[in-house]
Amino acid sequence: MSTARARTLVPALALLLLPLTACSDDPPPPTSSDTGYDAVSVLMQRALDKRARGLRTRDVARFRRSLDAADHGLVAEQQTYFDNLAQLPVGELRYEVAADTITPVEGSEDYWVEVVLVLGLDGYDAAPARTRDRFLFTPSPGGGRLVITSTTDHAWETAHPGNAQPWDLGPVRVEQSVGVLGIFDDTTVRHAGAVLDAAGNGRYDVRSVLGSTGDGVTTGVVVYALRDPAFLRGLADQTVGDPDRADGLTIAVPVDGTDARKGVASYRIFLNPRVLDQQAGVLGRLVRHELTHATLGARGHGAPLWLSEGIAEYVSVRPMAPTRRRLPARALDIAATATALPGAAEFGGGDAEGWYAVSWWVCEYIAGTYGAPVLLLLLDRLADGADQAQVVPDVLGVTPAQLAQRGVGLMERTYSG
């Protein structure tokens, strides 16, 4: 929410705005004697309805009528946004004015307001996602409407991270195959075929191990592979480690960014462009790792990272021949130092790759000794921050330290020969 305080509308301005006429696309103006910001809110909503309908129907003329046509920079910027959304399988799209956030700009007839975008991707979102943004409106030249003159408030966006999607920030190239939606840019689209194949095959590989489980899971998966990680910076403190350094990330898209209780609309995958030049086997393994997180969704939320990341690694290598399941270069050196199961500090440090490998082989040990279903049983038991010092012995009959030693021992026997 904006920290700016809305002020009472100046009576003269209210009188100016009330008798406005609508365009042919709009319903008749309100006939009641509105007070405060009611009339302003109605005119904002009309502009937003026009914008939404233009986007839904791919009617660029209608879309542009919601904009301040005198601002050529705005029109060009918004044309990019229109072109981006025209490539997406939009199922539901509408805007709502957050009327309690209307804030007049001192010394002008302009208004800032928070708007709610309700957007669902057909076949990819379990429910439409509600996100907020802040728009600036100004009276049209004829004085009969309010039009959008800015969709960017940098200070507000800094205070409200995580709202932007790649198509909000610059030109994208969208490619699609059965069940996979790929979001690329001009520098990464040449890899679209490999990415779509990896994700399409990976969906079936992962579900053959896990089944369909978790929340926010739909028939399709959205994969981002873009050179500019600007949208990731809005996810600060919402991912494990540094998003700019990660090879891949799984991103939860909430149904409502202001109310976590409403759940998740979908889980989407980000691939760092540097992995796109890797061999198909390496790319496929990374995609399966992230798809494991997406398939599990919120299941095991709050479980230790060694288990959630270890399961993702365990699942990611299942389609690979054992001789092709390679370790990171320093994994055995890191394993030799392991006296306990790794924690968040190990995953966030410079030796994270080695600790991922240790976690993977702890899960290999669990699956090989107790059966693969025990991995998910342990995930459920360790959810919500349960004490692993109690849960691990209860489920496995060994202490966490003993479990770490046995997983490391199995890894060393497998790779030291």
Q: Where are the domains of the chain?
A: 11-160, 164-299, 300-417
Domain 11-160 has CATH 3.10.450.100: yes
What is the pLDDT at residue 31? 34
Is the Cβ–Cβ distance between 115 and 124 less than 8 Å? no
Beta bridge partners of 118: 94, 130
The answer to whether 65 touches 94, Cβ cutoff 8 Å, is no
Q: For 392, how many CA atoms within 13 A lie in the half-sphere containing its CB? A: 20
Angle formed by the axes of helices 72-86 and 38-57, nearest 10°: 50
Q: What is the pLDDT of residue 213?
A: 64
**Residue 97 near residue 48, CB atoms below 8 Å:** yes
User: Other CB atoms closer than 10 Å to residue 220's CB: what's the count?
Assistant: 21
What local confidence, expressed as pLDDT, does residue 215 receive? 54
What pTM was computed for the model?
Answer: 0.86
Report the pLDDT value the prediction gives residue 26, as an integer from 0 to 100: 41
pLDDT of residue 124: 95
> What local confidence, expressed as pLDDT, does residue 238 receive?
54
Segment-wise mean pLDDT, segments of 10 residues, the chain, 417 residues: 31 29 38 63 97 98 96 97 98 96 94 97 94 95 91 90 88 96 96 96 93 64 90 63 75 88 90 89 94 91 95 96 91 94 91 94 98 96 96 98 97 89
Q: Count other Cβ atoms within 10 Å, centred on residue 250.
A: 20
Let me know if domain 164-299 sits in CATH 1.10.3720.10: no
